[in-house]
Amino acid sequence: MTLTNVVVNGAHQMPLQLTLSQEQRLLKRLQSGEHAAFKELYEAFSNRLYRCVIFPRLGIADIAEDVLRDTYLTAFEKIHTVTWQDRSLYYWLSRIAYNKVIDVHRSNRRTERFVKGFTPYLELIGSASKGPDEMFLDEERIGRIQELVHRLVDGLNPRYQQAVRMRFFDGKSREDCAAELDVTIGNFDVILFRAIKRLKALYETECEGEEA
């Protein structure tokens, strides 16, 4: 059983109740590299971390589950740095989880700034005729923008491509996009957000390549 399987497949299990002395022994097993011990760590605290630390601060289940997974992956990487201090390992894990949540919010703010600047270009592709904003763009510049956006979108995985094309190129509503992907509107918003986030990364790579 791999570490990833423990984290992904162990979700939503009943919490494992541990005394402090049991947690201390668990820490020793974890630091010796025992994977079964990591599974116990997950079963003991994952539900509480999700319900009390992560989900209330994010509000989107898919993203919260990603943060929970990343919390335990980081814990596994840093477990050798922990010194037992006669308090539950939950508090150490909760600090990791809280920092992960902060990272998500910071990343979201950066992505939102990118979306505000980049979305008009996406909408430009789907526009059949020039709108008022486009009148300030000459045809050559519009062509360059269209080429760049198509190239970036082609670099997305198929699901992200479909979300971007439906929402921006075809001008479909969020409700129609969600129905076509057979997901809830909230889940579609998450898919679209992640697609835009990936576009941002591709765009930054493109810019770095031009500067090199």
Residue 44: inside a domain: yes
Residues 55 and 140 in one domain: no
Report residue 135's pLDDT band, with 50, 70 and 90 as the boundaries: very low
End position of a domain, from candidates 58, 73, 106: 106
Domain range spanning residue 89?
3-106
pLDDT digits (tens, 9 = 90+) for 103-125: 887 766 655 565 565 666 565 55
Q: How far apart are CA 119 and CA 187, in angstroms?
A: 20
Final residue of a structural domain among 75, 106, 137: 106
Same domain, 94 and 153: no
Structural domain count, the chain = 2
Neighbours of 103 (CB within 10 A): 12
Residue 182, sorted as left (phi over 0), alpha (psi -120 to 50) or beta, turns out to be left
Instruction: Report the C-alpha gap between 114 and 50 in whole angstroms.
Output: 29
99 within domain boundaries: yes
- Give me the pLDDT at residue 97, please: 94
pLDDT in tens, 20-55: 999 999 999 999 999 899 999 999 999 999 999 998
Residue 121 lies in a domain: no
Using a 10 angstrom Cβ sphere, with 0-12 exposed, 13-18 middle and 19 or more buried, the burial of residue 149 is buried
Q: State whether the Cα torsion 181-186-192-197 is positive or negative.
A: negative
